[in-house]
Amino acid sequence: MEDKQELIFKEHDTVFDQYKIIKEIARGGMNSYIYLAEDLKNKNHLTGNCFVAIKVINRTSEMTIDDWNRFYDECVTSIRVSGLPNVIETYRVKKSEDDQNIIVVMEYVNGESLRSVLNKQGQLTLNEALFLFKKLLVALKSLYSFNHKIIHRDLKPENILLSKDRTELKLIDFGIASVINQTKKGISTKLITNESQLFGTYPYLSPDLLKALSTDNEEEKLSVINEQCDFFSIGIILYEMLTGNKPFVASDYTKEEVIQLPLKYDLPDLHRINPKIPLWIENVIFRCIASKPEDIKYRYNNIDEIINEVNQMIASPDLASQQHLLKPYRNRVMQNASFNIDKEKSKSKFYNAPWFFFSMAWLTGLLVLTAIILVIIYHVI
């Protein structure tokens, strides 16, 4: 089946007889376009709330009709979560007449993504990172509070929007979310994508999702879709906010190998990378991304455990200062074996040794004396 014609809006086009397209502002995953539009029926010149974001998703030949319908259902689900704290509001969702496009009208956030901030700034201060992390936790708690619990599954800096003053955070893009139905008969999971494939952004995907590829048992596939998928992602995000880098280097690896890195290697020495980062924060990140069999026991059981620990440590500096690493550095296997902090310290001792300075001073004096002799010889000749 050939791909259908993409639905692409132009400046001044009108959508649903209500929204006038101003410009394209981004392109997203799953063959989507995002536009800034003016709401012609709900102008508010006092507050400036007359703009919306319109996302157009175009179906491709790889997407089956079942996957497409499930994806549409999830877009509709995003309307149900509108009004939740720190979650983007969705006003309207509609399919095109030929069933090849989905149009989503959403709240417009006048700011930039966390990814954009990190690209420009490199990293955030400790206070900034914790402030945004707490807001992200609140957003997730609200998503998990429904009987139809929503697992985002694609948390990354690109899907976190910040207001210009960075005091507001909005979680966006529920395009590959999963809904967990909690009923009296038990728990069932409704997926909007085929779990024989991996969807999401690889450095932020939990290794648990590999189990979905290694089994034909449908129950086992569905069992890995839970809050831990999101916990792993926010652990990577917090690390990235604090350091400007991801904990695992993904270059020279296949996508599947990238997901497996946390099974082979441990969290880098975060406190040694930046001594200002307290050990308790390193423990929070470790518990979020814990993937090795021996580390699973440290995982959080629910979102409230993360929120309570973060709030307790922030409120009790004395208690926070008494924390020890759950997994000491000596027990960790680092991805980059060529970089060893103890070796770096040894190098530092070598170059700071008194005899080294004496030798360098002697060598410098010899070079100066040689230069003087050469100048004298030049003038004599």
- Residues annotated as catalytic (active site), given as ranges: 154
Q: In sequence order, which residues have a C-beta less than 8 Å from that of residue 217 and are 6 or more positions away?
A: none
CA distance 78 to 97: 21
Instruction: Please answer whether residues 196 and 276 qualify as being in contact, where contact means their C-beta atoms are separated by less than 8 angstroms.
Output: no
CA distance 367 to 361: 10
Q: In sequence order, which residues have a C-beta less than 8 Å from that of residue 362 and are 6 or more positions away?
A: none
Report residue 310 as tokens: 């973060």
Following DSSP, what letter does each residue of 322-335 receive, concatenated?
T---SS-GGG---S
> What b/e sequence results for 355-371 when a residue is b if at least 16 CB atoms lie within 10 Å of its CB, and e otherwise?
eeeeeeeeeeeeeeeee
Alpha carbon 12 to chain centroid, angstroms: 34
Residue 262 burial (10 A CB sphere; 0-12, 13-18, 19+) = buried
CA distance 363 to 370: 11
CA distance 261 to 92: 40
Following DSSP, what letter does each residue of 334-359 receive, concatenated?
-S-TT--HHHHHHHHHHHHSHHHHHH
> What b/e sequence results for 319-344 when a residue is b if at least 16 CB atoms lie within 10 Å of its CB, and e otherwise?
eeeeeebbbebeeeeeeeeeeeeeee
| Overall size of the chain counted in residues | 381
Instruction: Please answer whether residues 208 and 225 qualify as being in contact, where contact means their C-beta atoms are separated by less than 8 angstroms.
Output: no
CA distance 202 to 257: 9
